[in-house]
Structure 1
Amino acid sequence: MSITAAMVKELREITGAGMMECKKALVETNGNIEVAIENMRKSGAAKAAKKSGRVAADGIIKVATSADGKQAVLVEVNCETDFVAKDESFLGFTELVVQAALENQVADVDALNALEVNGKSIEQARTDLVAKIGENIQVRRVQLVKAGDGQVGHYSHGKNIGVVVAATGADEELIKDLAMHIAAANPEYVSEEQVPAEQLEKEKEILIAQAQDSGKPAEIIEKMVGGRIRKYLAEITLKGQPFVKDPDMTVEKLLNAKNADVLEFVRFEVGEGIEKKVDNFVEEVMAQARGN
């Protein structure tokens, strides 16, 4: 397979490694970027592999919750520019979309687009708005969260990040604090039990490969890897992370102290996975959560 300059550029942006290292990794994997990232992490060539969710599209994350606090909906509606993302017609359309999704308990974009509101489908309303504004507008994703025996709550960081949390034993303030924490810290799972075995095994393989380069004995490597796995799990799970408002305690300790538990959370960030300049919304949320 021919290795293009665009492929090398993409791998450089993801890993932070040099051009020649990236080209070599792509040649060795016949152009498979995912395998190249994994191999570079094992060899230590990659400085980071955390840019896979690069922000690309403008738009808005909109959240709506039911009056009884038992369910909530998040939607992402994209446009091409920040200017349009602040336009009243665009904002009105996003409100129409999220309310339609909540009222009809829709969790599928195609079904959402087919819904009729005020005599026309969401898709027709979108088409009309595109003609009016002159930018491409898309309803990108929607997710419905049901609390069951618990309650839902949410936090929105401007138009860029929206979080919904379903929890039991938690009051409104605690749920909002948890949602703000998730907006800032971006965990992947609620707890260690939810981490897929394949993901954990792959991370273990990478850590073992990195540790073996140190030349230390096998028993020392085993301890090193065990410690790093524990650290990795703490980083990617909500309960394992230090609580943003009080880093001296984990979220799990906070929940235990309140006799509360998190059933589910959903976090949307504008343009995740579509290439564009990255704004550091995470640091903004961290500062706000800590009252800075």
Structure 2
Amino acid sequence: MAITAALVKELRERTGAGMMECKKALVETDGDIELAIENMRKSGQAKAAKKAGRVAAEGVIVIQQSADNRQGCMVEVNCETDFVAKDENFVSFAEAVAERVMGSDVADVETLMALLLRDGEGGTVEEARQALISKIGENMGVRRFARFSASSGELASYAHGVRIGVMVELAGGNPDLARDIAMHIAATNPVCVDEDQVPAELLQKEREIIEAQSADSGKPAEIIEKMINGRIAKYLKEVTLLGQPFVKDPDTTVAKLLAKEGAKVVAFTRFEVGEGIEKKQENFAEEVMAQARL
């Protein structure tokens, strides 16, 4: 794979490493940026994957919830620019899509696109999308949705503007607590509720990185093992909802807060606009030249 200037630029932004280190890492992984980041973390070159979530995709997250807080849905609709994400026609389309999800039992986006956008009038969701593209002149699409049905509790939601949406099912507690938990999830982006739910492959990858970083410490094997176990324990607290310090009171964990209130988080989902979408390719060399001419 060709190692483009844009790819080197992205790796620099995500790791804080120098240009030559980034280019070398990409050459060694044949352009696989995620593997390059992993290798650089192992060798200590990467300062942090601090900008890993940066993407070019724009759009909105729309949340719908029933009056009894037992049913709900969350939808992500994307466009190319932040300007269009604020356009009333685009927002109206996104809200209509969410209403259609709320009122149907479709399981995937493909099936959703074939439904009428509104009951008894107009065309399908896909036809409405294409018409809006023609009107606005910018590509857009329905990316994903999640539907919720509270089995043993009530639903609560939190929206940080239109870019982040969270829906959580809480058993016990009260509406204020449920909303606080949803807000916490929006702010901290936990991977899952507790340690038992952490994907094995994610934990294994983190262990490999920690082992590689500890290998050259010169400490005895038993000390290194204790170091690794300690850092794994810290990592699990960072990525699990129950292990995290509560954003409104960092002196207590979410687990302790829930126990105090006699509540339990059954499940949650967090959407952020554009997360995981490949960034638009840019010509880094041309960008540098343009800045030099200013």
TM-score scaled by length of structure 1: 0.89
In the alignment, does 2:275 pair up with 1:263? no
Deviation at 1:50, TM superposition (A): 4.7
**Which SS does the other structure have where 2:190 is aligned?**
coil
- The answer (yes or no) to whether the contact 1:240–1:251 under 8 Å persists in 2 is yes
Match of 2:285? Answer: none
Deviation at 1:8, TM superposition (A): 2.0
Deviation at 1:166, TM superposition (A): 1.0
CA distance in 2, matches of 1:4, 1:87: 34
CA distance in 1, matches of 2:68, 2:104: 15
- The answer (yes or no) to whether the contact 1:156–1:162 under 8 Å persists in 2 is yes
What one-letter code is carried by the residue in structure 2 that aligns with 1:29?
Answer: T
In the alignment, does 2:241 pair up with 1:238? yes
Classify 1:132/1:102 alpha carbon distance in 2 versus 1 (closer, same or farther; 3 Å).
Answer: same
What one-letter code is carried by the residue in structure 1 that aligns with 2:257?
Answer: L
Task: Structure 1: give runs of 5+ residues left out of the alignment.
Answer: 278-292
Match of 1:19? Answer: 19
What one-letter code is carried by the residue in structure 1 that aligns with 2:12?
Answer: R
CA distance in 2, matches of 1:91, 1:66: 20
Match of 1:225? Answer: 228
**Which SS does the other structure have where 1:23 is aligned?**
helix
CA distance in 2, matches of 1:31, 1:98: 38
- Structure 2 residue aligned with 1:172, among 165, 168, 175? 175
Moved more, 183-192 or 145-154: 145-154
CA distance in 2, matches of 1:30, 1:121: 43
- The answer (yes or no) to whether the contact 1:153–1:166 under 8 Å persists in 2 is yes
CA distance in 2, matches of 1:76, 1:125: 16
Taking the TM superposition and a 5 Å limit, the aligned residue runs for 1:72-221 are: 72-117=72-117, 118-221=121-224
Classify 1:82/1:6 alpha carbon distance in 2 versus 1 (closer, same or farther; 3 Å).
Answer: closer
Classify 1:178/1:217 alpha carbon distance in 2 versus 1 (closer, same or farther; 3 Å).
Answer: same
Classify 1:11/1:140 alpha carbon distance in 2 versus 1 (closer, same or farther; 3 Å).
Answer: same
CA distance in 2, matches of 1:191, 1:200: 13
Cα distance per residue 1:141-169 (max 9 Å; x no partner): 11112221211110011111110001211
Match of 1:63? Answer: 63
Deviation at 1:276, TM superposition (A): 6.0
Moved more, 209-218 or 50-59: 50-59
**Which SS does the other structure have where 1:104 is aligned?**
coil
CA distance in 2, matches of 1:91, 1:24: 44
CA distance in 1, matches of 2:191, 2:265: 13
CA distance in 2, matches of 1:32, 1:45: 16
Cα distance per residue 1:35-91 (max 9 Å; x no partner): 222111111001112533323222111000123322211111112222222222112
How many residues align? The count is 277
- The answer (yes or no) to whether the contact 1:52–1:273 under 8 Å persists in 2 is no
Match of 1:39? Answer: 39
**Which SS does the other structure have where 2:170 is aligned?**
strand
What one-letter code is carried by the residue in structure 1 that aligns with 2:75?
Answer: V
Moved more, 217-226 or 227-236: 217-226
Classify 1:136/1:43 alpha carbon distance in 2 versus 1 (closer, same or farther; 3 Å).
Answer: same
CA distance in 1, matches of 2:30, 2:80: 34
Classify 1:88/1:6 alpha carbon distance in 2 versus 1 (closer, same or farther; 3 Å).
Answer: closer
- The answer (yes or no) to whether the contact 1:56–1:273 under 8 Å persists in 2 is no
Q: RMSD across aligned C-alpha pairs, in angstroms? A: 1.7
Classify 1:143/1:27 alpha carbon distance in 2 versus 1 (closer, same or farther; 3 Å).
Answer: same
Deviation at 1:215, TM superposition (A): 1.5
Deviation at 1:222, TM superposition (A): 1.2
Query: What percentage of aligned pairs have identical amino acids?
Result: 64
Cα distance per residue 1:199-230 (max 9 Å; x no partner): 11221111011112221221211111111111
Classify 1:30/1:128 alpha carbon distance in 2 versus 1 (closer, same or farther; 3 Å).
Answer: closer
Deviation at 1:119, TM superposition (A): 3.4
Deviation at 1:3, TM superposition (A): 2.9
CA distance in 1, matches of 2:162, 2:279: 17
